[in-house]
């Protein structure tokens, strides 16, 4: 009787059903471990990804700002016309560029030719901040004018003797970029958080008052 029971138990353990149960148990355990590991990785990775996105949006807007300023300079020289670069709280569009109102620290930017006896106002370039992130903040003068030589001038056409600064930042991140235009029309950028000696640092050529750290 005992021998028969032992044989029955061995047969049950060796049966295909027993193997299926054991395989299912192992698969469930592996799945639980995999989910636990995935949860840990997400807990670590999501905050870092969010910070990377915020920092990248600052860089993207700063780059577009530089490109817009350079386009304004190039267009002024090419057409031998005055080109205005402005910050505005209006939404810039190609058809509505003439109606944009300059505003210091405006949320969006645009570049347009100034009207003359021969030409009307025309669109050069623009960016609505919602295309990148509405949380990005722009600080800077309401407008700059570039003359036919690509130099910066005031609204009356008089040359400006000092560099003009724009600062791009975003709440919730330690990233900020300053874009500045020299009187001669050169467009440059720097990072106020970087130490002196770094090629992208603001100091010492740009003071902390001109471009504060975030």
Q: For 13-53, write each residue's pLDDT tens digit.
A: 455 544 444 454 558 777 777 777 776 666 665 556 777 77
pLDDT above 80 (res 182): yes
Structure tokens at 122: 């025309």
Distance CA 5, CA 26 (A): 28
| More confidently predicted of 62 and 37 | 62
Average pLDDT estimate for 3-18: 49
Distance CA 55, CA 45 (A): 15
User: What is the predicted pLDDT for the residue at 44?
Assistant: 64
Give per-residue pLDDT as tens, 134-159: 889 999 999 999 999 999 987 777 88
User: What is the predicted pLDDT for the residue at 28?
Assistant: 75
User: What is the predicted pLDDT for the residue at 18?
Assistant: 46
User: What is the predicted pLDDT for the residue at 43?
Assistant: 62
pLDDT-based confidence at residue 190 (cuts at 50, 70, 90): very high
pTM for the full predicted model = 0.76
> Domain 59-190: which CATH class?
alpha beta
- Could you give the percent of the chain with pLDDT greater than 90? 61
Q: Which helix (H) or strand (E) holds 2?
A: helix 2-14
pLDDT above 70 (res 177): yes
């Amino acid at each position: 009787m005992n021998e028969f029971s032992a044989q029955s138990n061995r047969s049950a353990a060796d049966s295909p059903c027993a193997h299926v149960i054991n395989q299912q148990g192992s698969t469930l355990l592996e799945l639980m471990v995999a989910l636990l590991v995935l949860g840990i990785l997400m807990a670590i990775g999501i905050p870092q990804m969010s910070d990377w996105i915020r920092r990248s949006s600052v860089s993207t807007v700063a780059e577009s700002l530089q490109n817009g300023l350079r386009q304004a300079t190039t267009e002024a020289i090419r057409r031998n016309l005055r080109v205005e670069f402005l910050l505005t709280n209006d939404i810039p569009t190609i058809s509505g560029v003439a109606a944009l109102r300059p505003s210091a620290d405006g949320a969006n930017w645009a570049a347009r030719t100034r009207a003359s006896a021969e030409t009307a106002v025309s669109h050069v370039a623009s960016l609505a901040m919602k295309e990148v992130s509405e949380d990005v903040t722009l600080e800077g003068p309401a407008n700059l004018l570039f003359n036919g030589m690509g130099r910066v001038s005031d609204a009356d056409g008089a040359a400006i003797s000092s560099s003009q600064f724009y600062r791009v930042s975003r709440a919730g991140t330690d990233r900020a970029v300053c874009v500045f235009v020299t009187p001669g029309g050169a467009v440059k950028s720097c990072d106020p958080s970087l130490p002196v000696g770094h090629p992208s640092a603001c100091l010492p050529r740009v003071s902390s008052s001109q471009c504060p750290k975030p």
